[in-house]
């Protein structure tokens, strides 16, 4: 049982798997009582409040969800592998998360996740600079972009309720790759209000792909964020691990679930 936000949930998810990548107990299910600064993944699975979480625990209704296996390097250049259940972001997203986390002890608790994210994003934008990014998709298609902001999403929401990947499904055997190409500081600034409703996908400089395997090489190291926590740097790789984790959902939440079934 995870009691907290996305960072706490990420720790529980990583404890779900043994060193070989198999579930420690395939019959065990993860439950979530939402709390924390962002707590974004609970929106994807229909846990809109603690009452929904309580109903999920009582019903013991489970769904089989995908996770993302993420490989990257730490500050010393050493390889690290972790699992993500929600969103892996690169560049500006990772810089924003680092700033949000640095404010944890200095901002009052009544300032929620969304305003914290926007303020941190505006701060991070001061140093925004695109770099050449090479992406190998599913081992077949190579894309080169000029970017400092892209993400892989298993869930819809990040940044305190912002709809970064409105078409993501957490059980479809893919993650949604959201790319920006050639966007300036002003372009990103103008898109911030629309991200909350998922309207950024209408921008011709933003694209979306369904991906199972991604390899990322960047001209300069970009920061990597996993489920709202600073992790490391590029180069990186992401693989979907389909239907690998059982999660508790409420039986009356089927109309709220953003899943494929």
Choose which CATH entry (2.60.200.40, 3.10.20.30, 1.10.1060.10, 3.40.50.450) describes domain 66-242: 2.60.200.40
- Residue for token digits 């693989």? 239
How far apart CA 235 and CA 233 sit, in angstroms, is: 6
- State whether residue 240 is helix, strand or coil: strand
Tokens at 42, concatenated:
């609970």
237 within 8 A of 108, measured Cβ to Cβ: no
- State whether residue 186 is helix, strand or coil: helix
Q: What is the pLDDT along the chain (261 residues), one digit of tens a residue?
A: 888 888 899 999 999 999 999 999 999 999 888 876 668 898 888 887 778 878 878 878 889 999 999 999 999 999 999 999 999 999 988 788 778 777 666 665 656 666 777 788 788 888 888 999 999 999 999 999 999 999 999 999 988 888 999 999 999 999 999 999 999 989 988 888 888 889 999 999 999 999 999 999 999 999 999 998 889 999 999 999 999 999 988 665 555 666 776
Instruction: Report which of 166, 212, 157, 172 is spatially closest to residue 65, judged by C-alpha positions.
Output: 172
Q: Report the predicted TM-score, pTM, of the whole model to 2 decimal places.
A: 0.90
């Amino acid at each position: 049982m995870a009691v907290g936000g996305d960072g706490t949930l990420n720790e529980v998810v990583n404890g779900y798997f043994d060193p070989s990548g198999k579930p420690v107990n395939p019959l065990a299910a993860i439950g979530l009582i939402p709390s924390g600064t962002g707590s974004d993944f609970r929106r994807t699975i229909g846990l809109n409040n603690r009452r929904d979480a309580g109903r999920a625990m009582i019903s013991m209704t489970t769904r089989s969800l995908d996770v993302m296996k993420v490989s990257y390097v730490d500050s010393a250049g050493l390889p690290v592998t972790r699992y993500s259940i929600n969103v892996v972001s690169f560049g500006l997203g990772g810089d924003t998360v680092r700033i949000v986390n640095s404010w944890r002890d200095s901002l009052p608790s009544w300032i929620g996740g969304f305003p914290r994210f926007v303020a941190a994003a505006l701060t991070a934008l001061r140093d925004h600079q695109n770099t050449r990014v090479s992406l190998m998709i599913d081992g077949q298609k190579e894309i080169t972009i000029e970017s400092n902001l892209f993400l892989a999403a298993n869930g819809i929401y990040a940044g305190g309720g912002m709809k970064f990947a409105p078409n993501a499904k957490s059980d479809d055997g893919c993650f949604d790759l959201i790319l920006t190409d050639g966007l300036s500081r002003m372009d990103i600034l103008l898109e911030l209000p629309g991200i909350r409703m998922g309207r950024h996908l209408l921008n011709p400089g933003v694209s979306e792909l369904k991906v199972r395997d991604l390899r990322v090489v960047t001209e300069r190291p970009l920061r990597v964020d996993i489920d709202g926590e600073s992790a490391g740097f590029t180069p990186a790789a992401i693989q979907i691990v389909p239907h690998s984790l059982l999660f508790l959902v409420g039986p009356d939440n089927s109309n709220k679930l953003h899943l494929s079934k």
